[in-house]
Chains A and B, each alone.
Chain A
Amino acid sequence: MKFTWFNLMPWPYLPDDFREKNRSVWVDIDQKLFDPAKSHEVYNTYMDLLEYADTLGFDGVGVNEHHQNGYGIMPSPNIIAAGLARRTKDAAIVVLGNSIALYNPPVRVAEEFAMLDCISGGRLVAGFPVGTSMDTNYCYGQIPSLTREKYQEAHDLIVKAWTTREPFAFNGRYNKLRHVNIWPRPIQQPRPPVHIPGGGSVETYDFCIDNTYSYSYLSFSGYLRAQALMNGYWKRVEERGVDKSPYRAGFAQTILVADTDEEAERLYSEHVSYFYNRCLHVYPGFADAPGYRTIKTIQTGALSQYAPPVGGYTQLTWKDLTEGGHVIAGSPETVRQRMEELIKGLNVGNIFCLMHVGNMPADKCMYSTKLFAEKVMPKLRNMFPDWDDDNRFWTTPLDKRVTAGRLPKDAPTGADLAKTYAVEA
């Protein structure tokens, strides 16, 4: 099993009446609600928490990309990842990911991911999302019905840039480049492992299978609702005649651990409510630009998870959210049981543990994270013994890696240098 500690980085100061007074947490969110001075502490606390997860033995630390979004203040995940590459030791740096249709030219992503892989000593997991319609179309202006074509071209260009050892010309529809020759290139060969966040597009299943990429379902509605979608994926895997390694799939789940179930509710319910009732308040007009989803996908009935639920929005309670599986919360034993259900039910080897939720303060987050790492994670390690050796979807770091900040405190003297660089007679 691979457990990645993930933080969406929500803005924790949305007002109580946010939903009543604002039409959307995303795209046209009120500028006045962001306070740059406060964000200084927010960013640094969030990065501290990611670093803390590394010390507890999580397999990865995860970041992602959103724009103009009140629940994700990471328009550039690579900036956060660069900090993590320096300050973490063993965890994979899971960038899930860069919305590659948005970069012009996309070789920028090939380069930045290569830098992250080099700085971290081969610890990068590269994610290539198409990007939500909010981010890609409404914020970044990509034409909805051409987004996938542009994404595909960007993908082909990045992989070619990573794996080709001499300069080449790339005559794409969206990218015309005479001299592609990225410098640096990644440590991991032939390329870093790739995870593709998907939301039920049938085409994405095949894309993952064809390229040996892991399919990640980043849902906020929990594992019970994910069953149908993941069944669809595994059915496709079977149809295509490839192995059913659980590492072909990943799933994001909000997880909150306390000593007892009651304590979990007492400690975390307000933060869960903050996330589900304020942070996910997206104007439905931004949920799904016409043409963004393919006809085939719409016909399978997969709708945007940001589209309003049938019957409209209601205030979701702790009970709704835990019983409905949006959130797995409770004592270590409760969480273990439900995690086992999730892992077996969905057949997923990669878990993106959303262990910070909404406006949760750092102390509670550390408490929950530590309990999970010490009392839950060890018991979930051996869920798929048959696939222990499957490393197609995870990192291959250098054996010998340097420690960041290892320079001596003081600069050497001239005499020191004379000794170090003495020319032998």
Chain B
Amino acid sequence: MELKTVETPHVAVRYLLGGQGPALVYLHGAGGIAADDPLLAELAKAHTVYAPLIPGYGDSEECPEIRDMLDFTLHTADVVAALGLKDPILVGHSMGGMIAAEMAALAPNDVSRLALIAPAGLWDDEHPIADLFATLPFEMPALLFHDAVAGAAMLTAGRNVTDPNFLQTYLVTNARQLGMAGRILFPIPERGLSQRMYRIKARTVIVWGDSDRLIPPVYAHGFKKGIARAELVSIPEAGHMVTLEKPGLVAEAIARLG
């Protein structure tokens, strides 16, 4: 994947571009996304994949004007327009799924194919979602992966944790990325999607890892119930980072959208 920049009304946006085929826009989760993401590689086999970074993620410029759910939704629609795309396949993981669902609800005639991978956006008192913002780095793998040991290796890959500057770099990255994510996820990752979901017209695939301990699979049913043309694909032996643990199966599920 290649890292590129596109101008939007509020801010210049960095995006990953790769592959060939029908256009697919991929919205990443709160942890961000890397150029070597295995799911992007899978998707790029049959699609032209555009994966824009939320402002503040990676090396991208911050955008203080994006404060609430409507701002995130419209900004992302601006990105799609700036990329010159019309009704691309819209895919979002976790926070990205929340944004994608909001886009499809806000402009139902602009989104005809939607894939939501363990999306945030709903809240059920009976099944509270873990507080990502009070989770320590060493607790993350068990929360995010089916296989915590392999997950820990994936999270630390390419990072030199013994570097004295590591902590500061880590804190700055967290402040930029999770600080931005917190605007729609903190302290409860719910901003009213449940009352807008009925507007979604898109043919929708909902993908969930069976061992998702961050957003438990019970939430899949909330989305399935709320979106008229939705089907659910459950993936065994995968946690919230099903995108890293089972990228092939996630890509297969998305392929159902044609």
Show the binding face of A for B, using Cβ within 8 Å: 27, 137-138, 141, 143-146, 149, 173, 283-286, 289-295, 298-299, 301, 303
| A residues in contact with B131, CB < 8 Å | 285
8 Å CB contact of B134 from A143, A283, A303: A283
Q: Contacts A284-B136, A285-B135, A289-B186 hold; do A145 and B180 have CB atoms under 8 A apart? A: yes
- B168 engages A299 (CB within 8 Å): yes
8 Å CB contact of B187 from A137, A283, A294, A303: A137
| B residues in contact with A299, CB < 8 Å | 168, 172
8 Å CB contact of B177 from A285, A290, A292: A290
8 Å CB contact of B168 from A138, A292, A298: A298
In Å, the complex CA distance between A137 and B179 comes to: 12
- B168 engages A285 (CB within 8 Å): no
Across the A-B interface, how many residue pairs have beta carbons closer than 8 Å?
Answer: 67
Interchain Cβ contacts under 8 Å between A and B, 22 examples: A137-B133, A138-B133, A138-B187, A141-B186, A143-B182, A143-B183, A143-B186, A144-B133, A144-B186, A146-B183, A149-B64, A284-B136, A285-B131, A285-B134, A289-B133, A290-B177, A290-B179, A291-B178, A291-B182, A292-B175, A292-B179, A299-B172
| B residues in contact with A290, CB < 8 Å | 133, 174-175, 177-179, 182
Query: Which B residues from 107 to 161 make CB contacts under 8 A with A?
Result: 131, 133-136, 139
- A298 engages B171 (CB within 8 Å): yes
B183 to chain A, nearest CB (A): 6
- B175 engages A291 (CB within 8 Å): yes
Q: Contacts A285-B135, A295-B176 hold; do A145 and B187 have CB atoms under 8 A apart? A: no
A228 to chain B, nearest CB (A): 16
| B residues in contact with A137, CB < 8 Å | 133, 186-187
Q: Is B67 an interface residue (CB 8 A)?
A: yes
Binary A-proximity of B182-204 (CB < 8 A = 1, otherwise 0): 11001110000000000000000
Question: Across the two chains, which residue of chain B brings its CB closest to A300?
Answer: B168
B67 to chain A, nearest CB (A): 6
In Å, the complex CA distance between A301 and B139 comes to: 24
Interface size class on chain B is 20 to 34
Question: Across the two chains, which residue of chain B brings its CB closest to A145?
Answer: B179
| A residues in contact with B180, CB < 8 Å | 145, 291
B196 to chain A, nearest CB (A): 21
- B177 engages A145 (CB within 8 Å): no
Q: A285-B136, A286-B134, A291-B179 are in contact. List 6 more A-B contacts (CB 8 A).
A: A138-B133, A143-B183, A145-B179, A289-B186, A295-B175, A301-B168
B254 to chain A, nearest CB (A): 30
| A residues in contact with B183, CB < 8 Å | 143, 145-146
B187 to chain A, nearest CB (A): 5
B127 to chain A, nearest CB (A): 19
Question: Across the two chains, which residue of chain B brings its CB closest to A28?
Answer: B134
- A295 engages B172 (CB within 8 Å): yes
| A residues in contact with B179, CB < 8 Å | 144-145, 290-292
| A residues in contact with B175, CB < 8 Å | 145, 290-295, 298
| A residues in contact with B134, CB < 8 Å | 27, 138, 283, 285-286, 289
In Å, the complex CA distance between A301 and B165 comes to: 10
A64 to chain B, nearest CB (A): 23
B212 to chain A, nearest CB (A): 20
Which of B134, B172, B174 has the most CB atoms of chain A within a 10 A radius of its CB? Answer: B134
- B182 engages A289 (CB within 8 Å): yes
| B residues in contact with A295, CB < 8 Å | 172, 175-176
Question: Across the two chains, which residue of chain B brings its CB closest to A141?
Answer: B187
A23 to chain B, nearest CB (A): 10
| B residues in contact with A141, CB < 8 Å | 186-188
In Å, the complex CA distance between A286 and B135 comes to: 9
| A residues in contact with B67, CB < 8 Å | 146, 173
Question: Across the two chains, which residue of chain A brings its CB closest to B30?
Answer: A290
Top 3 A-B pairs ranked by shortest CB distance? A291-B179, A290-B178, A145-B179
A389 to chain B, nearest CB (A): 42
Question: Across the two chains, which residue of chain B brings its CB closest to A301?
Answer: B168
| A residues in contact with B172, CB < 8 Å | 295, 298-299
In Å, the complex CA distance between A286 and B186 comes to: 13
| A residues in contact with B178, CB < 8 Å | 290-291
In Å, the complex CA distance between A141 and B190 comes to: 13
A145 to chain B, nearest CB (A): 4
| B residues in contact with A145, CB < 8 Å | 175, 179-180, 182-183
In Å, the complex CA distance between A19 and B139 comes to: 20
In Å, the complex CA distance between A155 and B118 comes to: 40
| B residues in contact with A298, CB < 8 Å | 168, 171-172, 175
B167 to chain A, nearest CB (A): 9
A312 to chain B, nearest CB (A): 13
In Å, the complex CA distance between A389 and B178 comes to: 48
Q: Contacts A138-B134, A284-B136, A285-B134 hold; do A144 and B168 have CB atoms under 8 A apart? A: no
In Å, the complex CA distance between A295 and B187 comes to: 21
In Å, the complex CA distance between A294 and B64 comes to: 12
A201 to chain B, nearest CB (A): 12
A316 to chain B, nearest CB (A): 22
In Å, the complex CA distance between A289 and B185 comes to: 12
- A144 engages B176 (CB within 8 Å): no
Question: Across the two chains, which residue of chain A brings its CB closest to B167?
Answer: A303
| A residues in contact with B187, CB < 8 Å | 137-138, 141, 143
B75 to chain A, nearest CB (A): 15
| A residues in contact with B136, CB < 8 Å | 284-285
Question: Across the two chains, which residue of chain B brings its CB closest to A138?
Answer: B134
Binary A-proximity of B62-76 (CB < 8 A = 1, otherwise 0): 001001000000000
In Å, the complex CA distance between A289 and B131 comes to: 11
B29 to chain A, nearest CB (A): 14
| B residues in contact with A146, CB < 8 Å | 67, 183
A152 to chain B, nearest CB (A): 12
In Å, the complex CA distance between A47 and B144 comes to: 48
8 Å CB contact of B182 from A144, A283, A284, A285: A144
Which of B171, B172, B183 has the most CB atoms of chain A within a 10 A radius of its CB? Answer: B171
| B residues in contact with A284, CB < 8 Å | 136
| B residues in contact with A283, CB < 8 Å | 134
| A residues in contact with B139, CB < 8 Å | 285
